[in-house]
A and B are shown apart, each in its own frame.
Chain A
Amino acid sequence: MTRNLTTRKTPASLTWRAVVLLISGALAAGSASAADESAQISAQQQQIDALQQQLLNIQAQMKQLAEQNQTLTRRLQYDEHRAESAQSGTTQPSTATPGSANAPGTAASGLAPPGGLTPSGNLSPPVAADVTPGSVLPPTAVSPFSNVKLWGYGELYYTHPTREGNKTEADLARAVFGIGYTFDEKTEFNSEFEVEHAVSSASDVGEFEVEQFYVDRQLNDYATLRAGLFLMPFGLINEHHEPVNFYGVQRNFVETLIIPSTWREGGFNVHGETPIGLSWNAGLTTGFDLSKWNFAPEFPQYATALDLEDSDSAPLQSTHQELGLANAQHLSEYLALGYYGIPGLTLGAAISTGDAAKVAAPPNAPILGNERVTLWEAHARWTPGKLDLTALYAHGSISNLAVANASNPGSPNPLPSEFYGYYAQAAYGAWEHGEYRLAPFVRWEYYTMGERYSGTDGPVVPAGLLPLSATPGDYGYWPRNYDRVTTVGANFYTTPHVVFKVDYQWFEDNRTFDRLDFGMGLAF
């Protein structure tokens, strides 16, 4: 199709030349005989055709060269950026993914895989060239799949609660495959499809889900329009959640329970970067559905740390919609800003706010007005020498919940008006040999899924040993919805794409959550 489009083209300059030739031919023919004239015209016509064909070939070659040149220039820029980051001592690796275009501080760091794997990082293979038979174009550019990009990542865990060994679990937590398509140099499509917990069926716990599905259209050098289902540019992990991109076997709790990673919404945004190292991203998206909140869980929604991450019980985890027949009566707006103008330093902040689909309330209950969900965060990452230091604070709030909570007295799980968390993390590139790399780390974090409540004094936490499930004999304690967690561990990379992890976590309040984890992750 591309070829047809090209051959139909008739550049203006070519048309002009043909006209001149035709006119000159016509003038010359004035003194000749009719037969001679006819022969001459025929010969001239052939000349014109030959010239025309030559021009077309030259034009195609020039276009191809220009594209190759553009690609090489970008790759050179990327390599320079990488070298610069390496020089500044960044140790945390990063595999840029479709959502990563707006977090250059991360995308450009350390050990990003070779170019050609980053669908929206402008490093994709050359666009398929216009090829005509007999052209001099390189054969490698002819593949019909040149416009298609494939990538993937996944992670496996072994998690052993040290105080409750019977709850040890192993899990293929995520297997994700991405597919993208470049329509032209300014328009591309990206998507990711994920299987969680290995098997997805009616009788299994797994899920199959679309994690991203959007189109980017570059408007100019500084702005790109995105539309579809995309990752929200919040925090350090949400857009860069591949296992090679974070320390620890599992994601940190703040960016799981407060920022509901992997958080995505449907809508559109405009994002871009400025030459001074400022990135920006503003969008209009679907929001949260508070009617999904469970005020009356009969059993604790989580009995281990792994449950806690997977149970979708946190305020925004349980109410985000993921564009599955999402209630779109109200939309949310967000703004995210980042700064990476100083080598080795990344600063970022984001805020999202919007009315939610209403929480369930008795039909005759007074109406307090819309329930607005607001989430904001600020983060920093500094990579002096072999150190990799990060800190993040995230805070969420929901308004007008007094009636809903008041109609659920005794609930172990009222809906909070305020929740937040923060963490600080230090990693050190301790050892490196070829592609092998070892980076130990330590992280301190605090989270509360219910800092403040309205219409209730807070959760009524059942005391003593209680059934944890409908299975007779399964007893335990009702967990607290806040905790202070210390994590010590290490990432070991065999290549930038494959990481083995180990860590130990101590929980100050939910002490039975203490655990030893092993994990493996990969991304390509």
Chain B
Amino acid sequence: MSRSKIYASVALPGLCLLAANLVGCGGSSDVSATSTTQTTQSAAAVAGKAIFFDKSLSASGKQACGTCHVPSRAYSGDPATDNGLPVPIGGANMDQVGFRNAPSLVYASFTPPFSLSGGPVGGFFRDGRASTLAAQAQQPFVTDFEMANADAAAVVAKLQTSPTTLAAFVAAYGTTPLSDPTTALADMGAALAAYETEDPSFHPFSSKYDYSLGGQATLTASEANGLALFNNPGKGNCTACHPSQAQSFSEHALFTDFSFDNIGVPRNWKIPANTAGSVSPIDGAPFSTVLVPVDVPSDAEYAYYDMGLCGPFKAATGDVKARVDLADTPSLCGVFKVPTLRNIAITSPYFHNGVFTDLHQVVEWYVTRDINNNTGNNPNPVAAGPGGNPYQAVGTFYTAADGTPDLYEYNDLPVEYDANVNIAEVPYTPPTFGGGQAPTLTAAEIDDIVAFLCTLTDGYDPTNPTAYTVPAQCQPSAAASTAASK
């Protein structure tokens, strides 16, 4: 797809959702949550699974891959275990906070390598900085606000003291790599990649939508209408970046084209990095890590911005927290990778900064972004409330730290880079558009699109539909309460 990517990233933080999982998080190798068919998997994949859930491999001993990529949440994060933050907590003392919402890993193995030719596409992490799944999987081990090991040697030392995981590793790779930490960590990354590629739980294609294509399930009228609106280039136009058609990556539709886009999502003040002088929500101590931000333009409203491909940090040798190679490419500032919409109903919060927590909000924001915005961009803001439009009040989405309407729209991006924001495609409705200010979707149509998005949740059983656990925000009462809140 062209530069014109519409939808944005959906975000997810993370830990374990259920109380049972929370208990499980204390163990060293909690693998109970996944469904696997180990007999058909390679030794590398078996080792990968052991590593994925082994908390003893972190500096704190309290964090594994599976901590921030929770199986029951389509391997995305869980704000409930991150003190309600949209970003994960980690570090040697579990008192440091990350700066991006942890993405779902389901279907990640279909991601193509990062490429800039013809516009950025592919790669791993929200900024595509790792070219392969194996390269990506190594980095959290040595990231200071995640598993926080000092280096590869520290990781391997931890591995050698974790008998079960070590046995699985040796079964796949032998003992030779253990003498070379760099090689051993690379093998651990490869093992994780094998696990994420081979284990069916990472690509089940078992949603109600999938079964409906085969005639084994039938979408409700609302869901079917939602799909039609999703595809309609004049209404949702979601399919432009989240294709409902299979592409070259898989014979199934993945609901992402792996492209990148700048959609001007609102700043999330719940991310500590976004507030000056932030302190740990755990112990109140100042954060010890992060944040030597890239040079932001002098007319920027705030001192720190996460600008995606531009990176939020200044270049530093060996820095693995964010990409630094495109920091001097202003046209890519604010651009993030388009995520899959599969399982979107269970991977809240949404976008790279986790600014939204429910899908109604997200879709509503999309269609009113340039209508209900603030004085900075919109010369004719539409009044909200009685007699006005039925959507969120002006200023609701773009707020300053104190909750009041922000001075500028697109407030998670320096004003200088506002021109990077995609305003050309449906469902955005630019202020200059034909003299009209009507959103492309009505409130009822938003409900239908959300109903359809809910059908993308894996785990549906067409032979026993009632056994399927409907995601909380997909239950009829959720839609009703959203409508009532308006």
Contact = CB atoms under 8 A, between A and B. Distances in A.
B164 interface: no
B234 interface: yes
Given A296-B231, A464-B234, A466-B233, A408 B214 contact: no
Contacts of A466: 233-234, 426
A410 B251 CA distance: 21
Interface stretch (A172-180, A323-331, A472-480): A472-480
B232 to A, nearest CB: 4
Contacts of B154: none
Interface string B227-252: 11111111101011001111000011
Nearest to B3: A470
B2 A408 contact: no
A364 interface: yes
Contacts of B434: 464-465, 475
Contact of B423 (A298, A469, A472): A472
Contacts of B426: 462, 466-467
Contact of A408 (B231, B233, B237): B231
B167 to A, nearest CB: 37
A473 B211 CA distance: 40
26 contacts: A295-B245, A296-B239, A296-B244, A296-B245, A298-B4, A298-B233, A299-B233, A362-B210, A362-B253, A363-B251, A363-B252, A364-B214, A408-B231, A410-B228, A460-B228, A462-B232, A462-B233, A462-B426, A465-B434, A465-B436, A466-B426, A467-B424, A467-B426, A470-B3, A470-B4, A473-B430
Contacts of A275: none
B383 interface: no
Contact of B234 (A362, A409, A463, A474): A463
B233 A362 contact: no
Contacts of B432: 473
A410 B238 CA distance: 11
Interface string B418-455: 00000111100010111010000000000000000000
Contact of B214 (A365, A462, A472): A365
B25 to A, nearest CB: 36
Given A362-B252, A462-B232, A408 B244 contact: yes
Chain A interface size, under 10 / 10 to 19 / 20 to 34 / 35 or more = 20 to 34
B246 A409 contact: no
A159 interface: no
A407 B231 CA distance: 11
Nearest to B215: A366
A360 interface: yes
Interface in A293-350: 295-299
Contacts of B433: 465, 475
Given A362-B210, A412-B232, 20 more contacts: A296-B239, A298-B237, A298-B425, A362-B246, A363-B251, A365-B215, A366-B214, A409-B228, A412-B233, A460-B231, A460-B232, A462-B234, A462-B426, A463-B234, A465-B434, A467-B425, A470-B2, A472-B424, A475-B433, A475-B434
Contacts of A298: 1, 4, 233, 237, 239-240, 425
A201 interface: no
A121 B231 CA distance: 52
B276 interface: no
B445 to A, nearest CB: 11
Chain B interface size, under 10 / 10 to 19 / 20 to 34 / 35 or more = 35 or more
A298 B422 CA distance: 15
B430 A472 contact: yes
Nearest to B2: A470
B479 interface: no
A359 to B, nearest CB: 11
A296 B243 contact: yes
Give the most central of A298, A360, A411, A412: most B CB within 10 Å.
A298
Interface of B: 1-4, 210-211, 213-215, 224, 227-235, 237, 239-240, 243-246, 251-253, 423-426, 430, 432-434, 436
Interface of A: 295-299, 360, 362-366, 407-412, 460, 462-467, 469-475, 478
Contacts of B252: 362-363
Nearest to A299: B233
A289 to B, nearest CB: 15
Give the most central of A297, A363, A475: most B CB within 10 Å.
A363
Give the most central of A412, A460, A472, A473: most B CB within 10 Å.
A472
Nearest to A297: B233
Nearest to A472: B424
Nearest to B428: A467
A362 B251 CA distance: 7
A230 B174 CA distance: 61
Give the most central of B232, B234, B424: most A CB within 10 Å.
B234
Contacts of B424: 467, 469-472, 474
Contacts of B237: 298
Contacts of B230: 410
Contacts of A474: 424
Contacts of A364: 210-211, 213-214
A469 to B, nearest CB: 8
A76 to B, nearest CB: 60
Contacts of B4: 298, 470
Nearest to A468: B424
A363 to B, nearest CB: 5
A470 B425 contact: yes
Contacts of B231: 296, 408-411, 460
A455 B239 CA distance: 19
Nearest to A365: B213
Nearest to B425: A467
Contacts of A462: 232-235, 426
Nearest to A475: B434
Nearest to A363: B251
Contacts of A409: 224, 227-228, 231
A10 B246 CA distance: 69
A452 to B, nearest CB: 20
B163 to A, nearest CB: 42
